[in-house]
Structure 1
Amino acid sequence: MFFTYLRRELRRRRKAALVVASGLALGIALVIVVSSVSSGMKQAQGKVLESLYGLGTDMTVTKAATPPKEGSGQTGRPRFKFDAKDSDDEDGEEQSSDRVMVQGFQTLSSSTVAEVGGQSGVADAVGGLSLQVMKVNGQFERGEFEQAPGGSTGKGQPPGGGGGDQQEGQVRGGGADFDVDSYSVYGTDVGKLDLGPLTSSRISKGRTFTGSESDAKVAVADASYAKEKKLSVGDTVTISGTKIKVVGIATPDSGDAAANLYLPLERAQTLADSKNKITTVYVKAADSQQIDAVKSAIQKNVSGTTVTTSADLADTVSGSLSTASDLASSVGKWLSIAVLVAAFLVAGLLTSSAVSRRVREFGTLKALGWRSGRVTRQVVGEAVVNGLVGGVLGIAVGLGGAYVVTAISPTLTAQLGSAGGQSGGGMGGGPGGATGGGPGAALSESASKALDISLTAPVSATTIALAVGLAVAGGLIAGAFGGWRASRLRPADALRRVE
């Protein structure tokens, strides 16, 4: 009887039921779209962090920034020295010099890796050394001395050598033409290739390192850098006089690469004259829900270090990605709540109004022996069905909206800059990316890099379950309004009214 009466009433009042369902559908659809876009924002930020940290990395440990000592302002600057050339036949000979510097000029002992790895909640830890190579090459050209009218012209010095009276004249031409090339190098522990920045790239050509190449003269080049320098597998690059063979090309999964060249850690330490030194410890937590506790344990037990989690690094992300994320999490969330509350209220009021128009009907049913509870259940049942219909419509519209966002896939820019002006390795101490900038670089106060991320709107099963729950809740709220109104009807009063 319940379902027969329910079906008949919903069919008879299709327009009213559709209005209630449509209001609920609008609110539910907006919730789905906002939730899916917010999820897409989180995935986009995750891609940004992976391009710096690497997959599986929950936090990094770097040396705590120390204030510079008085009179030490010049110690971090690279110096280049070139031999003087005296003979004329060596004039214009190309000269080259490079310097391998620790990025940020702050290092930790390699033993810090074991110390961090021994802390409670740490599943794994690996050290890395971030370097910056500056190479200067070019040539000097001697000028020609041109004597005043009446004298002779010589090359490199006035006539008469260094003795006698100086004759009037001037030097023309000459000078120097030097090119400065800067690129980043990351020393990775070949025994733990599943943790650290290299994991954010895949080997597209050649191979990666083997466990026996801890000090080998081999390298994996970033694909963009290899294209720029026309490097391929089997070619060699020279760093500080050491020839390094390229054994693989790595293509980043998203964004920019963490470094231009990846070297075995021990070889990188040798090139930088930093034996048993690292710049960063990459940490994987045993439980992602306990990251804050692990951070506190490391800060407490490993002195002289700064611990940076992915959440800390996410706070430094600016640009359109950050703006859109803020809008989705604040404006979008409150707008969804406002629309949903309005939809619930409208559904409740419409259901209550419908009950008022059915006073004679419910009065007659009570006169025929229906109890108030049965009438209330009938009204609530109708409202719940309306809510479920609205939920189905809302899910369909919400999925359509999420699909449109994913199909359009708008591009957002994430600007990553040094946080807080830390000089010891910046935010997380990671490698500096293609140009040596980014959160890990402290060579320049303005070091930063921008990543372009395509936004998607994935809809999870949790979001669908939430939509179904909202649909049922909306129906129950609307039914509560109508049921309360129906329960207060008295048969005698109802029968005296004419519809």
Structure 2
Amino acid sequence: MFFTYLRRELRRRRKAALVISAGLALGIALVITVNSVSAGMTQAQDKVLQSLYGLGTDMTVSKAAAPPSGSSNGQPRFNFGARGDSKTQSSDRVQVQGFQTLASSTVTKVASQSGVKDAVGGLSLSVVKISGQFNRGTFKPNQNSGSSGKPGGSGGGQGGGSAGQPQGEVQGGGANFSLNQFTVYGVDVSKLGLGPLTSSKITSGKTFTSAQTNAKVVVLDSAYAKTKKLTVGKTLTISGTKFTVIGIATADSGDSAANAYIPLTQAQTLSASKNKVTTIYVQAADSKQISAVKTTIQKNISGTTVTTSADLASTVSGSLSTASNLATSVGKWLSIAVLLAAFLVAGLLTSSAVSRRVREFGTLKALGWSSGRVTRQVMGEALVNGLIGGVLGIAVGLGGAYVVTAISPTLTASLGSTGGGGFGGPGGGFGGRQSAAKAIDIALSAPVSVSTIVLAVVLAIAGGLIAGTFGGWRASRLRPADALRRVE
């Protein structure tokens, strides 16, 4: 009886049901679209961050660089030995960059903290190589230097020398030197699942093996290898040590963490930093407890700076940041406003429909229907309207998300200048550069998750219940005598 009456009433009031369902569908569709676009923004931002700190890394532990001391101000110095010929001379400078070093034992201490699943250390180095030639000049005496009968007489000349010394000038000679500067990162080859190398894919050759702890091998970034015309099998010389290129890695997006990657032990040897690291990459046991793990590490390991991806996310700028802010603030508030308006309109329309059915409900009560049964009938109709609106809203919302994904608008993102600090990347910042990072183009998508669909269903049911509550309350207050007096 209930469902038969429900079906007949909905068919008889199709227009009113359609208006209520359409209003709810609009609000639900907007919620789905905004949530999907926001999820796409989050994914795009994750791509930017993962390209810098590596997959699986939740936070990094480092120690801020100490201020420079002495007259050198931390600048590299190059010493060349005196030679009497024109042979090529060169000098390499390998130094730790970005942060103060931490003892390797700190890695073990961090790994033992509550909530930490794994930790691995890395060493960031800067290599500056100066090479070139000193060429001796040729001394040419002045033509009139002998006019006084003595070398260097009163004839003067451009040499301007004192009495008893030949006068003239030195011609030719000079120096011609080139500068080669690149970044090197020491990788713990026993744990390749963490660290900046995980944000790159091996596109030629192979990566390190656990047996190459102290091997003289190197994996090059593809851009650097192309610039220096290095391929697998060739060698890269760092401070007089030759490293064999075993692989070429291409960053997933953005700049790579370093130009070259070598085993951590070799990096420590080159920089005279035995048992030292600059950055500790940390993976939390539970991604929802990252903030708590950060607090624990800062409390138990003094003097260190713990940086999470969330800390760095605020520095992402460009159109990605602008669009994300719009989707998060304006979009969500707009969808909430539309949804509330849809609920209110549905409730008012349902209540209005009940007032137009006074004779009908009065007759039903006169025939023995209780107020509860009438209320349940009204709420059942409103609930069906809500479910219909939910189905329509899901369909429209999925269509909107599909359109965004199909169009795939391109957004740009970049990280602000880190100035020597940041999220643990080689080069004194998160991902490695002292200057502002290169802009990254990200194709926006709008993925629809199961939770979003569940939210849409809940909203549909809630809309129906709210509308039914309005109408049911109005219907429950009707009295058969009052209703029958309105017979026309």
TM-score by length of 2: 0.89
Tell me the equivalent position of 1:454. 443
Of 112, 129, 140, which residue of structure 2 is paired with 1:135?
Answer: 129
Tell me the equivalent position of 1:381. 380
Distance 1:181 1:352 in 2: 79
Tell me the equivalent position of 1:106. 100
Q: Does 1:38 align with 2:38?
A: yes
Change in Cα spacing, 1:178 to 1:392, as seen in structure 2 (3 Å) is farther
Of 458, 476, 480, which residue of structure 2 is paired with 1:491?
Answer: 480
Distance 1:85 1:364 in 2: 117
Correspondence 1:180-259 to 2 at 5 A: 180-259=179-258
Distance 2:19 2:141 in 1: 100
Tell me the equivalent position of 2:117. 123
Deviations, residues 337-391 of structure 1 (Å, cap 9, x unaligned) = 1111111001111111112222222222222222221111111111111111111
Deviations, residues 275-310 of structure 1 (Å, cap 9, x unaligned) = 111101111122222222222221122122111122
What percentage of residue pairs aligned between the two structures are identical? 73
Alpha-carbon shift at residue 399 of structure 1 (Å): 0.8
Deviations, residues 48-86 of structure 1 (Å, cap 9, x unaligned) = 2222221211111101454x36x5362421123345564
Alpha-carbon shift at residue 191 of structure 1 (Å): 0.9
Tell me the equivalent position of 1:74. 72
Distance 1:167 1:498 in 2: 132
Alpha-carbon shift at residue 151 of structure 1 (Å): 8.8
Equivalent residues of 1:37, 1:402 under 8 A apart: yes
Change in Cα spacing, 1:338 to 1:245, as seen in structure 2 (3 Å) is same
Deviations, residues 124-154 of structure 1 (Å, cap 9, x unaligned) = 11110011222334445677889999899xx
Change in Cα spacing, 1:389 to 1:189, as seen in structure 2 (3 Å) is same
Alpha-carbon shift at residue 28 of structure 1 (Å): 0.6
- The alignment partner of 1:448 has SS state of coil
Alpha-carbon shift at residue 161 of structure 1 (Å): 9.5
Change in Cα spacing, 1:344 to 1:105, as seen in structure 2 (3 Å) is closer
Distance 1:96 1:408 in 2: 54
Tell me the equivalent position of 1:260. 259
Distance 2:402 2:253 in 1: 22
Tell me the equivalent position of 1:358. 357
Alpha-carbon shift at residue 176 of structure 1 (Å): 4.9
Change in Cα spacing, 1:166 to 1:401, as seen in structure 2 (3 Å) is farther
- The alignment partner of 1:125 has SS state of strand
Change in Cα spacing, 1:260 to 1:72, as seen in structure 2 (3 Å) is same
Tell me the equivalent position of 1:55. 55
Distance 1:211 1:269 in 2: 17
Equivalent residues of 2:53, 2:430 under 8 A apart: no
Deviations, residues 215-255 of structure 1 (Å, cap 9, x unaligned) = 11101112222223222211111111111111011222333
Distance 1:16 1:173 in 2: 98
Equivalent residues of 1:218, 1:264 under 8 A apart: yes
Tell me the equivalent position of 1:439. 430
Tell me the equivalent position of 1:97. 91
- The alignment partner of 1:104 has SS state of coil
Distance 2:359 2:171 in 1: 112
Higher mean alpha-carbon deviation, 136-145 vs 406-415, is at 136-145
Change in Cα spacing, 1:267 to 1:482, as seen in structure 2 (3 Å) is same
Distance 1:179 1:403 in 2: 54
Query: Structure 1: which 5+ runs fail to align?
Result: none
Q: Does 1:430 align with 2:425?
A: yes
Change in Cα spacing, 1:380 to 1:252, as seen in structure 2 (3 Å) is same
- The alignment partner of 2:439 has SS state of strand
Q: Does 1:471 align with 2:460?
A: yes
Distance 1:496 1:204 in 2: 86
Higher mean alpha-carbon deviation, 274-283 vs 316-325, is at 316-325
Aligned residue pairs total 478
Distance 1:122 1:105 in 2: 22
Higher mean alpha-carbon deviation, 287-296 vs 173-182, is at 173-182
Alpha-carbon shift at residue 461 of structure 1 (Å): 0.5
Change in Cα spacing, 1:16 to 1:234, as seen in structure 2 (3 Å) is same
- The one-letter amino acid paired with 2:128 is M
Query: Structure 2: which 5+ runs fail to align?
Result: 147-156
Equivalent residues of 1:438, 1:447 under 8 A apart: no
Distance 2:25 2:63 in 1: 54
Equivalent residues of 1:255, 1:453 under 8 A apart: no
Alpha-carbon shift at residue 496 of structure 1 (Å): 2.9
